[in-house]
Amino acid sequence: MDLSTTYLGLRLPHPLMPGASPLVDDLDQVRRLEDAGAAAIVMHSLFEEQITLDQLGTIHSMEIHEGASAEALSYFPDPSDYRLGPDQYLEQLRRIKDAVAVPIVASLNGTTPEGWLAFARLLENAGADALELNVYHVASSPDENAVQVEERLLEVLRTVRRHVRIPLALKLSPFYSALANLAQRLDAEGIDGLVLFNRFYQPEIDIEALEVKPYLHLSDSSELLLRLRWLAILSGRVRASLAVTGGVHSAIDVIKAVMAGANAVQMVSALLQHGPEELQKVRTAVEYWMEQHEYESLAQMQGSMNLQRCPDPTAFERANYMRVLQSWRG
Amino acid sequence: MSTQFMVTLDGNEAAASAAHRTAEVIAIYPITPSSTMGELADEWSAHGRKNIWGTVPLVVEMQSEAGAAGAIHGALQAGALATTFTASQGLLLMIPNMYKIAGELTAFCMHVSARTLATHALSIFGDHSDVMACRQTGFAMLASGSVQEAHDFACIATAATLRARVPFLHFFDGFRTSHEVAKIALLNDDELRAMIDDDLVAAHRLRALSPDHPVLRGTAQNPDVFFQAREAINPFYSKVPDLVQETMDRFSALTGRGYRLFDYVGHPNAERVIILMGSGAETVHETVAWMLARDERVGVLKVRLYRPFPIDAFVAALPVDTRSIAVLDRTKEPGAIGEPLYLDVVTALRESCDDGKSHFLTEPRVIGGRYGLSSKEFTPAMVKAVYDELAKTQPKRHFTVGIVDDVSHTSIDFDPTLDIEPPEVVRAVFFGLGSDGTVGANKNSIKIIGEETENWGQGYFVYDSKKSGAITISHLRFGPRPIRSAYQIRRANFVACHQFNFLERYDVLEYAAPGAVFLLNSAYGPDDVWENLIRETQQAIIEKQLRFYVIDAYKVAKDTGMGRRINTVMQTCFFAVSGVLPHDEAIAHIKRTIRKTYEKKGDAIVQKNFAAVDQTLAHLFEVTVPTDVTSTRTMPPIVSAQAPDFVQKVTALMLANKGDLLPVSAFPVDGTWQLGTAKWEKRNIALEIPVWDASICIQCNKCALNCPHSAIRAKVYAPDNLSDAPPTFKAMDYKGAEFKGAKYTIQVAPEDCTGCQLCTMVCPAKDKANPKHKAIDMQPQAPLREHEAANFSFFLGLPEVDRSTLHVDVKTSQFLEPLFEYSLACAGCGETPYIKLMTQLFGDRAVVANATGCSSIYGGNLPTTPYTTNRDGRGPAWSNSLFEDNAEFGLGIRLAIDKNLEQARELLLHLAPKLGEAVAANILKAPQETEADITAQRRRIGFLREKLGNLSSLEVRRLSQLAEYLVRKSVWIVGGDGWAYDIGFGGLDHVMAVGRNVNILVLDTEVYSNTGGQQSKATPLGAAAKFASAGKSTPKKDLGMIAMSYGNVYVARIALGAKDLQATRAFLEADSYPGTSIILAYSPCIAHGYDLAYGAEQQKLAVSSGYWPVYRFDPRRIANGMSPLQLDSAAPKTSVSDFARNETRFRMVEQLDAQRFRALMKAEQQEVQSRFAIYEQLAKLVVPKPQVTEES
């Protein structure tokens, strides 16, 4: 069965790959992912904000008590060897590149234009085959309008695009008011791929302690539906290749995503739950299903159920309750 | 001669640099002020820095200096070139091995930053009392007087010992030299190689213990031969002086820096000569030069080789015209005819004269003086006074200089205003706050000036003993010639005050010379700063015609993302207005240094520092100084007028930095000081203080329980006490049943709070409508200060709770008066809440034996002490013996109390017929379990005393003296993990084995905190510490398990911030347990590297992850058929790395090597789980009940 696909200009034997996750922290896991046949490996994000906070926090906690006491000129070993920059991430990227042969997609979350640019270059130089720009932004400020939010996103892309040669993907959130239009503009700026969608930590309220805590639960297949809709809407309308992330747990999920238009399918929760080998199982099941249904290749089903090709496009465009209402009326 | 490579470093680094490069094995133990040498050696080896033979020296940290000396002795015996670094008590612990090393003629050189020995008090500062205690060991002793000499003599002594086979103790003055930063010529490896003779190294190795050419050493000898064999060593000592001089000559040929065994400086026909060694000799040298220019026939003889003392070289070095000699010793030997150097000089001159070798025109008169004990300043004025004394017809035979001795009248007068410093030397003094980075910035500035210009530079830094809100005074000199001034600057061309409020506490401008520049960090600008100065400051500025600049450094720091670190801003200002370097050049150097320091740490921090530099100049303003003093405010009194006489007359002067002025008569003769003095020092260091909202308070008292400084307190009292309350005093109805109808108040001590925020962090009471508001919120201190101070004063006057009726638990414990308050511990200290709780529960009947360390510093470092008394005058009696012997010291206290009690009981029985049988029986049989019992017993003792007052006999007198022991005493042996796990473990173990009723409180910060973060055996697997920079690879020692193995020791492991109920119970049980108790108390520390406001949160994570499981092991439970171990922790439910990642000590391992970090965390997780499983099983064990026999 020909499962081959093209994502970010990379010719891949099949669309399945681990999405950004802590799995890549451990080289053994990375090797297991390759053994399980991952088509590519997406690293977790390098967070500029985290790095800056780490730098400032660590320097502060070490320096604040330096030179204050006659008995202790400092309280920590000589800090000159300790690296507070992105070195760790870059080192891990190099190690992964050395350890496995599959393409490695680095991931970056910047906060400043300088940060986006500087770190993107470092990741490219460290050997990343492609770069996923993880744009994390909660538009909580009433002073910033939707145009400004989108323009900032475009500016990040332009900046990085100008200076980085490797393929670029943009991991989007679903919270844009005109996503199809935005995707088209990103496409025009030369994006190579769009990843749908980022799953954010959600604030959870502890009603006993009266505290808000960030919370991230593992996904399940129900989350796929939102992604299917937008894959279907964007598929065929943008030049950029499309990846799905969030809610893919089974071969059926993969097939649906591909039919909706995904060129690549990222899995995280399922791999965290069942181990890297789950990827192999899902791939085998996809192949089995395709054989059973007499498909010749993945290309044959890619985008088959997108907005342009599916039998009832309105199903993707209409809101659910409308249909229910109509069916009652009907 | 090779080209000189100039560097700027301190004396410790200078000595360690030569020592590390000429050693193979280094064994050390941290002790101030020598710790840095060991740390650097470890750091260099960790970085793979090689010695001159191309191999990296092996560095090991031992459990004590005694251990280090033993390891060194072994290494030397096995043929290694070994060295060590130490000082003071550490050196004393090495003495037994020093005798051995010398007796076995072993080539070895150790480096000592000489420090005061503890006598009536401990002192971390410098004098020669430690090295003088070694002069009988058989070690040769070589004294350095400057940073350059510390470097050069480290090399010379190492070379000489190989030639002589006599071991060398190379020493220099602690702090004055060890911590002075100076520009020196650094020996390169070729020079070191040229100095160390490889044939002699080979000979040393040939003497090694080896099974391939075995010998026997360390025999026992008997009266028939020991004496003769001991004398066989003599020829080796006879040769030492010549060998040292030859080595010095060789060194001179190589480097151009010549030294003699005794270096004479002065008039060739000097009549008056001072003889001394160490840094003081440099000051005398400088003064002699000044006096020579004034045609005085004076000279100084600097003693280099003190042991063996070469008489001929000594006499030959003195001018023939010498008529009078003053020998200055930096040590005190009570009861001796004179101090050691004096005695040696007198003996040498006498022997020389007797042997007909004297060359003097007339035999000189010799007098001896003491100076500079504990780093007491030794200035040219004092030197001049000594020469003046020598000029008298009847000079004092034995004198002191530098103090006013109005008791024994030993002191000679000196003119404190004498200033001999040459005008070309730029002198700058900086007043900074410990945490604002002033010292670091100044070290940086010296480096810039020293290494980037032709100028010579010197920096010396004065610290106070406070661990929070500490003040630092930096003394910087720059000049075209090498600087010999081994004393603090008195008249500066530049004075910077980095904290505005210092002007109201210290006489900052006392240091300013006329016409000097004065730089002030001030929130007030050039237009309004003047009106906000006190009169004294205005007056000094006008009278001294100072050029006055202001900068709002905190604003610049804040705006540029530097937080409260104003170091970069103030450093930029210094260069901008001092004129030491061209402005642009200086800025370029500062930026280069910033980049060098931080570039590995990431660009963000570099950019923020750059921004701070750039923005500084725009905010620096010269103030137009008015002609008149206009301020109506004057410097407030240092202590309140209500303070006792002693505090007014003595403590207040010490607090004002003027302790040097106090005469001998001001002081207790035996080191005994009164309690309750911390309360008189109102430090006002908190920017924000807690504010209580009674409307949402749930009265849990957690704020008070967790406060490290007793600066927020709870009280419950009768409502009628409120009648004359200040208007803003807050009170609410008490909610519990136990004090029905009572009022309740939480009150902050606004001027004593450090602003650590622990109280607000632990406060569980949130406003339901607005949960960000809690019952305790932090608010700016300044507007609250005055009325909250009045409220606190009123609060203190409210009646204390009746201890006898109180059921003590975690909440009510906070109604008990803390007898430990306002300590100088770090803001947010994790140790002090335990000590405070102990004093609340048992302070009125406690004796505390305190190991040296943080707890002895914040507990007993003058001017004040946080230990205090209650209204009855009772409180914890406290003493610190040593670091290593605290358990034994505490046991001794217990033994004395037990013996006194036994005698009291015997006397009571004996006197019962006269006192009344019932009176005696009631006392003897009285239970003393509860507070009510104790109160009742005290009443009985009062009654007994009344009865005794009516009787008279020897027994009656004795019982009167001992009656107080009939009330149960609680002995607390307190110390840190360095003491309990390492240096004091042998004694601790023995005390546990003895089983007496002592309570051991181990304040476990998992690292040597006081000396700056060296690993101890309490350091956990995976944490970085000094000597474990890559993360400790072995697990923490399980001291609790060791203690449990005795079976009859009460053991508790606690974490107050996580499980306060369990912790409180542990204290109560430990006190009530009739044998030995040990409490291991988890103590967050600044050496963990996080904001200690989160101390309680971290403790919760420590417990929930199983990193710090809490338990109580109470042997009394066996009698009830239970396992003695009660596990108070649930099974680990969070991961250790979640806990660890919040702390820099762990995180930096990840930053060094993420793979290693993961491996260590995995190992620690495994360790945590295994340990918990063991405890869990132990907690289920059924131990047979003790057999009840007829005899029992």
Q: Is B766 on the interface with A (CB under 8 A)?
A: yes
pLDDT score for B1190: 54
- Which B residues, 120 through 149, put their C-beta within 8 Å of a C-beta on chain A? 124-125
Nearest to B1144 among A61, A72, A78 (CB): A61
Range of the domain at A16: 5-329
Residue among A30, A56, A69, A89 with most chain B CBs within 10 A, to mutate: A69
- Residues B117 and B129 sit within 8 Å (Cβ to Cβ): yes
- DSSP state for residue B163 in the 8-state scheme: H
Instruction: Using alpha carbons, select from B718, B513, B521, B704 the residue that is nearest to residue B620.
Output: B521
Instruction: Determine the residue type at A283.
Output: R
State yes or no: pLDDT of A213 exceeds 90.
no
Phi, psi of A36 (to 5 degrees): -80, 0
| Nearest alpha carbon to residue B779 among B692, B845, B838 | B692
pLDDT over 50 at A330, yes or no: no
Q: What is the pLDDT of residues B830-839, one digit of tens each?
A: 999 999 999 9
**Can you tell me the mean pLDDT for A171-194?**
94
Q: Does residue B416 surpass a pLDDT of 70?
A: yes
Rounded Cα distance, B1114 and B646, in Å: 45
Is the pLDDT score of B661 beyond 90? yes
Secondary structure of chain B: what % helix, strand, coil (to 5)?
45, 15, 40
Do the chains contact at B1154 and A91, CB–CB below 8 Å?
A: yes
Contact B771 A84 (CB under 8 A): no
Separation in Å, CA B48 to CA A82, A288, B759, B1031: 16, 58, 46, 17
pLDDT at B1192 over 50: no
Distance of CA A166 to the CA centre of its chain: 16
Contact call for residues A86 and A122 (beta carbons, < 8 A): yes
Q: Which two tokens stand for residue B919?
A: 């009176």
| Helix or strand run (H / E) with residue B475 | strand B471-479
CB contact under 8 A, A85 and B603: yes
Q: What is the CATH number of domain B970-1086+1095-1180?
A: 3.40.50.970
CA B914 to chain centre: 54
Which has the closest alpha carbon to B1056: B808, B758, B852?
Answer: B758
The pLDDT of residue A319 is 59
Instruction: Give mean pLDDT, residues B54-60.
Output: 98
B1100 touches chain A (CB under 8 A): no
Secondary structure letter of residue B64 according to DSSP: S
Residue B219 reports pLDDT greater than 80: yes
Q: Which of residues 1028-1047 of B touch A (CB under 8 A)?
A: 1028-1029
Degrees, nearest 5: CA angle A116-A120-A122: 125
> Rounded to whole angstroms, how far apart are CA atoms A150 and A176?
8
User: Number of CB pairs < 8 Å for A and B?
Assistant: 154
What is the pLDDT at residue B151? 98
Task: State residue B553's pLDDT score.
Answer: 96
For residues B616-622, average pLDDT:
95
Give pLDDT, residue A320: 52
Please, are residues B706 and B814 in contact by the beta-carbon 8 Å criterion? Answer: no
Tell me whether the CATH fold assigned to B684-829 matches the one assigned to B970-1086+1095-1180: no
Residue A14 has pLDDT above 70, yes or no: yes
B928-937 tens-digit pLDDT: 999 999 999 9
Q: Tell me, what's the pLDDT at B580?
A: 85
DSSP string covering A10-48, please?
EEESSSEEE-SSGGGGSHHHHHHHHHTT-S-EEEEEEEH
Distance from CA of A267 to the nearest CA of B (A): 24
Q: What is the CATH number of the domain that holds A227?
A: 3.20.20.70
Q: What pLDDT sits at residue B1142?
A: 94
Measure the CA angle with vertex B943, ends B966 and B842; round to 5°.
40
**Is 3.30.43.10 the CATH classification of the domain at B426-620?**
no
Percentage of the residues of chain B whose pLDDT score is greater than 70:
99
Residue whose pair of structure tokens reads 């090709």 in the numeric block: A309
Residues B434, A74: C-beta atoms closer than 8 Å:
no
B465 in contact with chain A, both atoms CB, cutoff 8 A: yes
Give the sign of the dihedral formed by CA B248, CA B249, CA B255, CA B260: positive
- pLDDT of A48 above 50: yes
CA-to-CA distance for B421 and B483, rounded, in angstroms? 10
pLDDT in tens, B992-1034: 999 999 999 999 999 999 999 999 999 999 999 999 999 999 9
Q: Which residues of B touch A74 (CB under 8 A)?
A: 1012-1013
What is B684-829's CATH topology?
Alpha-Beta Plaits (3.30.70)
Sign, Cα dihedral of B291, B295, B297, B300: positive
Query: Cβ(B130)–Cβ(B166) under 8 Å?
Result: no
pLDDT score for B1188: 64
Q: Which residue type occupies B691? A: V
pLDDT digit string (tens) for B435-444? Answer: 888 999 999 9
pLDDT in tens, B873-887: 999 999 999 999 999
Report the domain count for chain A. 1
CA–CA separation, B418 vs A103, rounded Å?
Answer: 77
d(CA B855, CA B824): 10
Residues of B tagged active-site: 32, 65, 115, 1010
B561, closest residue in chain A (CA to CA):
A56
Q: Which amino acid, residue B714?
A: A
Q: Is B926 on the interface with A (CB under 8 A)?
A: no
Where do the structural domains in chain B lie, given as residue ranges?
5-211+233-254, 261-412, 426-620, 684-829, 901-966, 970-1086+1095-1180
CA distances from A153 to A106, B214, B660 (A): 18, 78, 66
Out of A74, A84, A210, the one facing B1012 most closely (by C-beta) is: A74
Would you state the pLDDT for residue B1189?
61
Prior bond to B308 cis, omega within 30? yes
Write the DSSP assignment of B796-840 as a string of letters: HHSPPP-GGG----TTGGGGSPPSB-S--SPTT-SSHHHHHHHHH
> Token pair for residue B504?
């109201």
Strand partners, B83: B26
Mean pLDDT of A153-163: 93
Give the closest-approach CA distance of B82 to chain A in angstroms: 23
Homologous superfamily (CATH) of B5-211+233-254 is: Thiamin diphosphate (ThDP)-binding fold, Pyr/PP domains (3.40.50.970)
Q: pLDDT tens digits for B937-981? A: 999 999 999 999 999 999 999 999 999 999 999 999 999 999 999
Spatial contact of B188 and B181, defined as CB atoms under 8 Å apart: no
pLDDT of residue A325: 46
Q: What is the pLDDT of residue B552?
A: 96
If you ran DSSP here, which 8-state letter would residue B138 be given? T
Measured in whole angstroms, how far is the alpha carbon of residue A242 from the centre of its chain? 11
Residue B1 pLDDT greater than 70, yes or no: no
Residue % of chain A over a pLDDT of 90 = 65
Asked if the C-beta of B1013 comes within 8 angstroms of chain A's C-beta atoms, the answer is yes
Whether residue A67 is predicted with pLDDT greater than 90 in this model: the reply is no
Range B261-412 has CATH code 3.40.50.920: yes
- Measure Cα distances from B537 to A125, B482, B547 in Å: 59, 34, 13
Whether the per-residue pLDDT at B1061 is higher than 70: the answer is yes
* Contact B945/A at CB under 8 A: no
pLDDT above 60: residue A323: no
Higher pLDDT, B1042 or B584: B1042
Residue A216 or A12, more confident: A12
What is the spatial distance between Cα B856 and Cα B835, in angstroms, rounded to a whole number? 12
Write the DSSP assignment of B85-123 as a string of letters. EE-HHHHHHHHHHHHHHHHTT---EEEEEE-PPPSSS--
Asked if A61 and B1091 come within 8 Å (Cβ–Cβ), the reply is: yes
Whether A70 sits inside 8 A of B598 (CB atoms) is no
How are beta strands B109-114 and B85-86 bridged, if at all? parallel
Asked if B534 and B635 count as a contact pair (C-beta separation under 8 A), the reply is yes
pLDDT tens, position by position, B1147-1170: 999 888 888 999 999 999 999 999
Q: CB–CB of A301/A258 below 8 Å?
A: yes
Q: Could you give the CA distance from residue B826 to residue A64 in angstroms, rounded to a whole number? A: 12
- Nearest CA to B892 out of B998, B1003, B1049 is that of B998
CA dihedral for B346, B347, B349, B354, sign (positive or negative): positive
E strand or H helix that includes residue A186: helix A179-188
pTM, entire model: 0.93
